């Protein structure tokens, strides 16, 4: 009987430890995000904190499972705290695991566009000075032989070959107005609208870490017949890999622009 009571006490202790690690890990991740977003520390430091958060939450989930097993064997109730610790850990690990999988499946680039032959250029917003400094060659001889810009284009074609210019059956001024309206609907901060050049420049800010990505949309008359050709570029201000965020932004924007949303 005493042995069962002792084991039951351990089940409750393990459950409490699981809850502390799981919720504490989530809290640490939020602190890392808020600190990065408000400029208290550099983005590298904020992301570095996640290296400690991941194992802490994983251990929390493991302890919750062990506590449940011990509780079952001793007839002890660990109740909702243990369930909360386990569910929290599983959801967080699934979310972070998906991000890690996505990052490893995509090239380490952070600049996405619909036109690699004639890349849309910024006039007010500036492309980061180190934009092409660390384009990876993936250990491939064909990539290593290329210049950084051509290497970026090659990786871009392989990963985001679906990004293409959009042809709209609208005059350029109407197409630009629709693009500007869609930018405003998304809540991006507009830096400049230039009807003469047919461009919109804006900045999108991510939710948690408050990373800023700069965007330029270019509208030109279609050479053959009426209508317009719309191109877009989205580029991260910091970091090496964007985990496909910029390409996803371009893809979704162009889809909604075509649909007239």
Note the pLDDT of residue 8: 58
| Structural tokens at position 50 | 């996640």
Look at residue 113 and tell me whether its pLDDT is greater than 60.
Answer: yes
Question: Cα torsion for 241, 211, 254, 243, to the nearest 10°?
Answer: 20
Which of 21-30, 149-158, 193-202 bottoms out in mean pLDDT, i.e. has the lowest? 21-30
**What is the pLDDT at residue 208?**
77
pLDDT exceeds 70 at position 104: yes
Q: Average pLDDT for residues 229-242, to the nearest whole number?
A: 95
Residue whose entry in the numeric block shows the structure tokens 């302890």 = 63
> Among 9-13, 16-20, 191-195, 213-217, whose mean pLDDT is lowest?
9-13
Residue 65 has pLDDT above 50, yes or no: yes
Averaged pLDDT for residues 243-255: 97
Provide mean pLDDT across the span 56-66: 94
Structure confidence at residue 7 (pLDDT)? 54
Residue 62 has pLDDT above 70, yes or no: yes
The encoded tokens of residue 28 equal: 């640490």
pTM of the model: 0.84
Task: Return the pLDDT at 2.
Answer: 45
Residue appearing with tokens 């074609």:
157
- Range with lowest mean pLDDT among 17-26, 74-83, 135-144, 157-166: 74-83
Q: DSSP 3-state assignment of 126?
A: coil
State the number of CA atoms in the 13 A half-sphere of 145 facing the CB: 3
Tokens for 65?
Answer: 């499972």
Q: Mean pLDDT over residues 86-112, rounded? A: 91
For residue 4, pLDDT over 50 is answered with no
CB 65 within 8 A of CB 131: no
Longest dimension (CA), the chain: 89
- Confidence at residue 130, expressed as pLDDT on a 0 to 100 scale: 92
Q: What is the mean pLDDT of residues 71-90?
A: 86
Per-residue CA distances from 197 to 120, 216, 218 (Å): 11, 12, 8
Share of the chain above pLDDT 90, in %: 70
- HSE toward the beta carbon, residue 158, CA cutoff 13 A: 14
- Helices vs. strands in the chain: H and E counts, helices first: 7, 6
């Amino acid at each position: 009987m005493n042995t069962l009571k002792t084991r039951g006490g351990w089940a409750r202790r393990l459950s409490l430890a699981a809850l502390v690690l799981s919720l504490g890990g989530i809290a640490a991740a939020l602190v890392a995000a808020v600190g990065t977003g408000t400029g208290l520390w550099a983005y590298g430091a904020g992301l570095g904190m996640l290296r400690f958060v991941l194992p802490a939450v994983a251990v929390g989930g493991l302890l919750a499972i062990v506590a449940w097993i011990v509780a079952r064997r001793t007839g002890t109730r660990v109740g909702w705290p243990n369930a909360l610790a386990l569910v929290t850990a599983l959801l967080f690990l699934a979310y972070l695991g998906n991000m890690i999988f996505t990052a490893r499946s995509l090239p380490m680039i952070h600049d996405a566009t619909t036109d690699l032959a004639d890349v849309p250029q910024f006039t007010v917003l500036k492309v980061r000075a180190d934009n092409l400094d660390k384009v990876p060659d993936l250990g491939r001889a064909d990539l290593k032989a290329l210049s950084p810009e051509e290497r970026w284009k090659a990786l871009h074609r392989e990963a985001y070959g679906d990004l293409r210019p959009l042809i709209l059956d609208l005059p350029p001024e109407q197409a630009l107005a629709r693009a500007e309206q869609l930018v405003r609907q998304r809540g991006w901060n507009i830096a400049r609208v230039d009807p003469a050049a047919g461009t919109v420049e804006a900045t999108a800010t991510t939710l948690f870490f408050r990373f800023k990505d700069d965007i330029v949309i270019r509208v030109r008359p279609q050479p053959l017949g009426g209508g317009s050709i719309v191109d877009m570029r989205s580029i991260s201000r910091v970091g090496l890999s964007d985990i496909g965020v910029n390409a996803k932004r371009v893809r979704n924007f162009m889809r909604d622009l075509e649909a007239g949303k």
